[in-house]
Structure 1
Amino acid sequence: MKSKKGRKGEESRKRLLKAAANEFAIRGFHETQVSQIVKRAGLTQPSFYLYFQSKEAIFEELIADFHSRVRKLTESLLLEGGLNTQDVSKRVLSAVETVFQCLAEDKDVTKIGFFLNPEAKQMKKDLAVVLQDNLEAEQRLGYFHSELDMETVAECLIGMIEHLTDSFLLTGIKDPASLAAQVVNLLIYGMLPIERDVR
């Protein structure tokens, strides 16, 4: 069990991370100062340096944690074998909604990790590779058309999630469930009206 001092220290560290995420999201990396972070956290400047060597260090930790969380989530969404068509649609909807929920949990960290991070482009490429691996495995299970190029599908999905997060999720215009429903309706059912068999 942690000592009282240890618990208090962990709480201070969390407050600094939250305050830093908010400052970076509002001001950007270069305009944010340690003095602004500690003021927002209600702590002193010396306390900042107990936990982080520099502004760069806290920024990098926020990005690394975001990348790790999103990557693990993406890896965990692989569909298992034995699902019927209706279950596949429901599971894909649930997976996309889970991604949007993850991105909505801490909008400041999402803004930093997805958009302000100098390595954001590479991070999205890495996520696209993980997603492509999942999609190809699911394609081999017969869940998706065999002629689909899953590299292209993965890049499209990442692009859609990125743009919808920026335009609707971070702004609070739409929630994770409604965004997921639109993405899945488009990808699973397409834009053409369903033709009814009149025989």
Structure 2
Amino acid sequence: MITALPTSSSQDKRLTKGERTRLQLLEVAAAEFAERGFQHTRISDIVARAGVTQPVFYQYFTSKQAAYDELVGMFSQRLRQAISQARLPDDLKVSELASRIRQGVGGLLAILQEDPNLTRIGFFQVDAAEALKDELVAMIADNVRAEQQAGLFRPEISADWFAQSLMGIIERFTRQTPDAAQQQALSEFITNLLLEGIRQRTAP
């Protein structure tokens, strides 16, 4: 499973020196791309910030584009995996529905907040960001259709519109860079909103 880029303080000591250098270059490149944009970032900027030489950079990446593509691919794959894993099992108990949805929403929010630089590149900055969001919306809609067939959700709700709505909510909240406590509160709010709505409940 692809994991978030580690910081220098959390790097696995089992990694080789070369692996740590490669991860450091990716981490620094993500920061440079996020701050300057792809066009205005130079390899010299990346290596200066990483404290290595340009030949070292070329030991791991053939070009600036190759490093950028790897970062975007890493980010995109993590989101795809999160949505795939959020698919609810057909035999899920009704009592567990809210907690499982909250877990799935929380997983997406966590990925988008783990590395703000990577999110800025892959979710907002890169030209393919909208295509990625469209792909994720389609994956969410497929999940919802399967869950509707399993009787977990009302069949008359448009799976496509639901998926678009969820992506819009997540995208908007991601721009606000919530901390861990806010992420948990947001997961609860989004889950309750989508499951229960905003209308006042009538008395039994």
TM-score for the superposition, normalised by structure 1 = 0.90
Q: Which runs of 5+ in 1 are unaligned?
A: 1-5
Using the alignment, how far apart are the partners of 1:173 and 1:26 within structure 2?
Answer: 23
Which residue is 2:116 aligned to? 107
What are structure 2's unaligned runs of at least 5 residues? 1-14
2:160 is the alignment partner of 1:151: yes
Q: 2:62 aligns with which of 44, 50, 53?
A: 53
Counterpart code for 2:160: E
Structure 1 stretches of 4+ with a deviation exceeding 6 A read none
**Aligned pairs for 1:155-194 within 5 A:** 155-169=164-178, 172=179, 175-194=182-201
- Are the aligned partners of 2:86 and 2:104 in contact in 1 as well (CA < 8 Å)? yes
CA displacement at 1:61 relative to structure 2: 0.7
The structure 2 residue matched to 1:22, chosen from 23, 31, 38, is 31
The alpha carbon displacement at 1:174 in A equals 6.7
Structure 2: how far apart are the matches of 1:173 and 1:164? 13
Equivalent pair of 1:168/1:174 in contact (CA under 8 Å): no
Q: TM-score, normalised by structure 2?
A: 0.88
1:112-137 CA distances to partner (integer Å, 9 max, x unpaired)?
A: 11011110111111111111111111
Give the CA deviation at 1:173: 9.5
Contact 2:82 2:104 in 1 (8 A): no
* Higher helix residue share: 1
> Per-residue displacement from partner, 1:36-95 (whole Å, max 9, x unpaired)?
111221211111111111111111110011111110111111111222323111110111
Task: Give the 3 Å change call, closer, same or farther, for CA 164–106 of structure 1 in structure 2.
Answer: same
Tell me the C-alpha RMSD between the 2 structures.
1.6
Q: What is residue 8 of structure 2 aligned with on the other side?
A: none
